[in-house]
Structure 1
Amino acid sequence: MGELAVEELCAELIRFDTTNLGDGKSLLGERAIAEFVAAHLTDVGLTPALLERDPKRSNVVARVPGTDPALAPLLVHAHLDVVPADASEWSVPPFAGEIRDGYVWGRGAVDMKDMCAALLTVLSRWSAAGIRPRRDIVLAFVADEEDSGEWGAHWLVEEHRDLFADCAAAIGESGGYTVRTTHADGHEVRLYPVATAERGTAHMRLTATGRAGHGSRRNDDNAVVTLIQALSRLASHHWPTRLTPAVQAFLERAAPALGIEVDWGDMDVTLHRLGSAAKVIENTVRNSTTPTVLSAGYKVNVIPGVASALVDARVLPGSEGDLLAEIDRIVGPGVRREFVQQQQAVQAPVDTPWFDAMAESLRAFDPEGIVVPFCMGGGTDAKAFVRLGIDCFGFAPLFIPAGHDHKLMAHGVDERVPVEGLRFGVNVLDRFLSTV
Structure 2
Amino acid sequence: MTKAFTALALAATLLASGGAAHAADRAPPTADQQVALDIYRDIIAIRTARGQAKTPEMVAYLVSRLKQAGFADADIMVSDYDSAGERVQGLIVRYAAAKPDGRKPIVLLAHMDVVDALEQDWVLPPFTLTEKDGYFFGRGTTDNKYGVTNLTQTFIRLKKEGWKPTRDLYLVFSGDEETGMISTRAQADYVASKIDPAYVLNSDAGGITLASDNRPLAMAVQAAEKTFATFEMTVTNPGGHSSRPRSDNAIYELSDALQKIAAYRFPVQATPLTRSFLGALGQITPGEVGAAMRAFSANPADEAAIAVLRANPETVGTLGTTCVATMLKAGHAENALPQSATATVNCRIFPGVGAAATEATLRKVVANDAVQFKLLTDVTESPESAVPTEVMAALRKTIDARYPGLPIQPYMESGGTDGMHYRARGYQTVAISGAASRPEDMYAHGLNERLSVDAFDGGLDHWYRLLKELAR
TM-score (norm 2): 0.81
Aligned residue number for residue 7 of structure 2? none
SS in 2 for 1:197: strand
Cα gap change, 1:164 to 1:149, in 2 (>3 Å): farther
Instruction: Indicate if the aligned counterparts of 2:70 and 2:160 stay in contact, CA closer than 8 A.
Output: no
- For the pair 1:128 / 2:160, whether they are aligned, the reply is yes
Cα gap change, 1:242 to 1:89, in 2 (>3 Å): same
Structure 2 distance, partners of 1:253, 1:88, is 43
Aligned residue number for residue 239 of structure 1? 266
* Equivalent residue runs for 1:60-71 within 5 Å: 60-66=91-97, 67-71=99-103
Q: CA deviation at 1:271?
A: 9.3
Aligned residue number for residue 429 of structure 1? 463
Aligned residue number for residue 151 of structure 2? 119
SS in 1 for 2:103: coil
> Alpha carbon RMSD of aligned pairs, Å?
2.9
SS in 1 for 2:139: coil
Instruction: Indicate if the aligned counterparts of 2:46 and 2:54 stay in contact, CA closer than 8 A.
Output: no
Q: Could you give the per-residue CA deviations for residues 266-312 of structure 1, whole angstroms, max 9, x where no partner exists?
A: 47748969xxxx87644222211111122222112322333221111
Structure 2 distance, partners of 1:156, 1:219, is 53
Instruction: Indicate if the aligned counterparts of 2:211 and 2:439 stay in contact, CA closer than 8 A.
Output: no
Cα gap change, 1:158 to 1:214, in 2 (>3 Å): farther
SS in 2 for 1:146: coil
Aligned residue number for residue 206 of structure 1? 233
Aligned residue number for residue 338 of structure 1? 374
- For the pair 1:329 / 2:329, whether they are aligned, the reply is no
Letter in 2 for 1:222: N
Q: CA deviation at 1:31?
A: 0.7
Letter in 2 for 1:224: I
- For the pair 1:100 / 2:132, whether they are aligned, the reply is yes
- For the pair 1:291 / 2:325, whether they are aligned, the reply is yes
Aligned residue number for residue 407 of structure 2? 370
Aligned residue number for residue 209 of structure 2? 178
Residue-pair matches, total? 420
Aligned residue number for residue 222 of structure 1? 249
Runs of 5+ consecutive residues of structure 2 not aligned to the other structure = 1-30
SS in 1 for 2:223: strand
Q: CA deviation at 1:381?
A: 0.9
Instruction: Indicate if the aligned counterparts of 1:181 and 1:189 stay in contact, CA closer than 8 A.
Output: no
Letter in 2 for 1:37: L
SS in 1 for 2:436: coil
Aligned residue number for residue 191 of structure 1? 218
- Of the three residues 36, 51, 60, the one matched with 2:79 is 51
Instruction: Pick which of 357-366 and 251-260 moved more.
Output: 251-260
- Of the three residues 26, 39, 62, the one matched with 1:37 is 62
SS in 1 for 2:53: coil
Cα gap change, 1:366 to 1:134, in 2 (>3 Å): farther
SS in 2 for 1:229: helix
- Of the three residues 7, 10, 14, the one matched with 2:44 is 14
Instruction: Indicate if the aligned counterparts of 2:216 and 2:403 stay in contact, CA closer than 8 A.
Output: no
- For the pair 1:319 / 2:353, whether they are aligned, the reply is yes
Cα gap change, 1:101 to 1:268, in 2 (>3 Å): farther
Structure 1 distance, partners of 2:225, 2:412, is 5
Aligned residue number for residue 387 of structure 1? 424
Letter in 1 for 2:418: D
Instruction: Indicate if the aligned counterparts of 1:244 and 1:317 stay in contact, CA closer than 8 A.
Output: no
Instruction: Indicate if the aligned counterparts of 1:281 and 1:374 stay in contact, CA closer than 8 A.
Output: no
Structure 1 distance, partners of 2:452, 2:389, is 30
Instruction: Pick which of 382-391 and 290-299 moved more.
Output: 382-391
Cα gap change, 1:159 to 1:352, in 2 (>3 Å): closer
Instruction: Indicate if the aligned counterparts of 1:72 and 1:166 stay in contact, CA closer than 8 A.
Output: yes
Cα gap change, 1:192 to 1:204, in 2 (>3 Å): same
Runs of 5+ consecutive residues of structure 1 not aligned to the other structure = 21-25
Structure 1 distance, partners of 2:212, 2:102, is 41
Letter in 2 for 1:434: K
Q: Could you give the per-residue CA deviations for residues 378-420 of structure 1, whole angstroms, max 9, x where no partner exists?
A: 11111222232111112111123xx67232x201211111222
Cα gap change, 1:203 to 1:227, in 2 (>3 Å): same
Aligned residue number for residue 252 of structure 1? 279
SS in 2 for 1:405: helix
Letter in 2 for 1:379: G
Letter in 2 for 1:369: L
Q: CA deviation at 1:62?
A: 1.2
Instruction: Indicate if the aligned counterparts of 2:107 and 2:200 stay in contact, CA closer than 8 A.
Output: yes
Cα gap change, 1:154 to 1:88, in 2 (>3 Å): same
Cα gap change, 1:267 to 1:431, in 2 (>3 Å): farther
Letter in 2 for 1:370: P
Instruction: Indicate if the aligned counterparts of 2:134 and 2:452 stay in contact, CA closer than 8 A.
Output: yes
Aligned residue number for residue 169 of structure 1? 200
Cα gap change, 1:217 to 1:280, in 2 (>3 Å): closer
Structure 1 distance, partners of 2:228, 2:304, is 24
Aligned residue number for residue 23 of structure 1? none
Cα gap change, 1:303 to 1:179, in 2 (>3 Å): same
TM-score (norm 1): 0.87
